[in-house]
Structure 1
């Protein structure tokens, strides 16, 4: 069977922000509306469409996809059975803007088109230069996360890039080292999609990203990305109020041999363990875990090359952030305030999401010490964009407002806070 890539579908997905998983979910929902039963598609089903392995889906699936896209299946690049895939596509599919978006928006689409083009000498050779290009895109995703965090657009871009990394596996020949690196890149992008969903409190979606990220990480054999995924999994369960599951996931991360090879990973593992221990009320255990984290950070070689997402750990900002979270959860408000000030002094300027979160936590710590006026002033320094558009920050400030009203009911401070938050409605 001819397995020419369906670059038209890939371009449509890129233009509309669909990853393979999210399109599968949308089609499954459309199938449920059509048939009364939820569809059984997953990301691999959509990847088969894009790779040309499935050129004409089943009738019900086609109808559901047409309902999702608003286009007939042939306009999405599918080829009816019995028709050659070389049959000319309708004129609207030859639109120059569509071609440009396909080329610019997808590394994998470009590679596949080149590999399949007539007259070429043979299959394209995929090399580390392709991996390097993906790594640059990964750095862009990390930078976007640091600035904005939790946004659906970041999740979708990261998921789409994970699919691109996987598509490169089928775009040409490659060494085992390159293939392992491509799986690691796909796992890294999928872990960023997972983190964006966690940060946006979209936990069901985060769990789907988690499962795919874990499988990809196993295929890559990359210890650093395995650590990131399991550590994020622990954070997800902590945010969901499931400390037992958080401990189990953190233990997987902390027992990876990379934590013995590089103490900086051990530092992050201990610090996240401490944040989860904060939910148990065990102050002594929190202190021990934070002490282990500090010891590991002191042993770590600051000059080793590490993944870009480890940068906040290197200068101690992440340790202070997690110590702040642990002590705030314990009700140790004075210690929490101290860690908040240290974290804010260490965070790089581009870490806007973490700065907003830790400022909101600082306000909680000040309110916990009975200083309502200072707490309200601190809370009002959180940028309005973060306060209204970042799910975690929004919830923290809502909880702060409720605590402020409970502790200083009827005061001018409460009135000022109410007027200030009412003004957000006109700012969004």
Structure 2
């Protein structure tokens, strides 16, 4: 059958600056306006249109696309089914399209996975899931060392695709398939977090949407919590506390928070950090008290997911308390939690140590201690100061505040020279 590329659609997208993901989002929004229900397309759905694998989209998506483009579907290179060859076209969208369309090129990858002449499809088992989980642990470790790096984001996204490709590479039990979706969601959530940490919020939002879809198909409560909790953090960093609270409330409403006090504690601690940005002093203090109480009730459990075991403890609770009180302008309390955090941080939390140290410098400077704050800021490692987007920005803000508080002082001169030395070590 003819599967020629839809060059008309590609040309229209290029002219109007649309990627596959942005066009999918626009069509989904238009479909919601038309039908009252959002569309289920993602970037891979649009890539299937461009590749010619879908010659005539379903009616709702087609009408929404026409509304977005202002053109009839035929002018965008689509061919009505009546004009298609009589042979069955397996590329027509079907009820499983949303699942298949979560990653571009899955069909091609699956075809490559089945070697010519193989008598039976490969059997996918829990050993494949365990291999992916080992790779996930490597991503988590890399994130704690470096954080926010584009390379981490790209590796995590590629591993999410690998997990999805396994779905079509052979037969598998339902438990294995659910675990593969959970693994893909976990990798995609790590890509999302790396983008958040690197302040690439538009990319993080796209990772978030794919991660949410995968998590729903997995049914895994822990990964759903992670994704929605990350979403709350993302909106907090973007200065959108109302959206941050709404996203974090979804995480806190999952039944895993009722089953496991440690998840409840993390949800409450992140809620406190959000309430701090919203200047809700009473709410912040109450949430932190509840988070501490929940942590004290939590029992040791080696069966928690690796991402939770790797980072959430008393040090992280103090780190979120530091963030909350810094936002509220309660600098003595912020400094108290900074010192507690730095004492308790585990050695592998290199990125977290740099962030906490930088926040401590801000808290000290805000209390008028320019000497101590400058000395603190100078202890941030050069690689974090120059290569981690959040740390770099906070240190730039520290330098501006130092110059405002002590203009022309030797401290400002020392700080300027220190920053220059950081840059030469890159």
1:356 match: 354
Contact 1:271–1:323 (8 Å) recurs in 2? yes
Distance 1:372 1:250 in 2: 36
- The TM-score with structure 1 as length reference comes to 0.77
1:414 match: 412
Given candidates 251, 254, 260, the residue that maps to 2:258 is 260
SS of 1:423's equivalent? helix
Contact 1:217–1:225 (8 Å) recurs in 2? yes
2:297 match: 299
- 1:143-158 matches, within 5 Å, as 143-158=141-156
1:122 match: 120
Deviation per residue, 1:266-295 (Å, 9 max, x gap): 000000000001012222221110110011
- 1:29-44 matches, within 5 Å, as 31=11, 35-36=15-16, 38=18, 40=23, 43-44=43-44
Contact 1:31–1:37 (8 Å) recurs in 2? no
Q: CA 1:248–1:55 in structure 2 vs 1: closer, same or farther (change >3 Å)?
A: closer
Q: CA 1:238–1:187 in structure 2 vs 1: closer, same or farther (change >3 Å)?
A: same
SS of 2:407's equivalent? coil
1:63 match: none
Q: CA deviation at 1:53?
A: 9.2
Given candidates 312, 315, 318, the residue that maps to 2:316 is 318
Contact 1:114–1:124 (8 Å) recurs in 2? no
Given candidates 351, 367, 370, the residue that maps to 2:368 is 370
Deviation per residue, 1:214-248 (Å, 9 max, x gap): 11101100000000000000000000000000010
Distance 1:352 1:156 in 2: 21
Given candidates 374, 380, 393, the residue that maps to 1:382 is 380
- The TM-score with structure 2 as length reference comes to 0.77
Count of aligned pairs: 354
Contact 2:385–2:391 (8 Å) recurs in 1? yes
Q: CA 1:351–1:35 in structure 2 vs 1: closer, same or farther (change >3 Å)?
A: same
Q: CA 1:305–1:111 in structure 2 vs 1: closer, same or farther (change >3 Å)?
A: farther
Distance 1:350 1:288 in 2: 30
1:394 match: 392
- 1:148-187 matches, within 5 Å, as 148-187=146-185
Contact 1:344–1:355 (8 Å) recurs in 2? yes
Distance 2:303 2:345 in 1: 20
Gaps of 5+ in 1: 4-26, 57-107
CA-atom RMSD, angstroms?
Answer: 2.9
Q: CA 1:47–1:125 in structure 2 vs 1: closer, same or farther (change >3 Å)?
A: farther
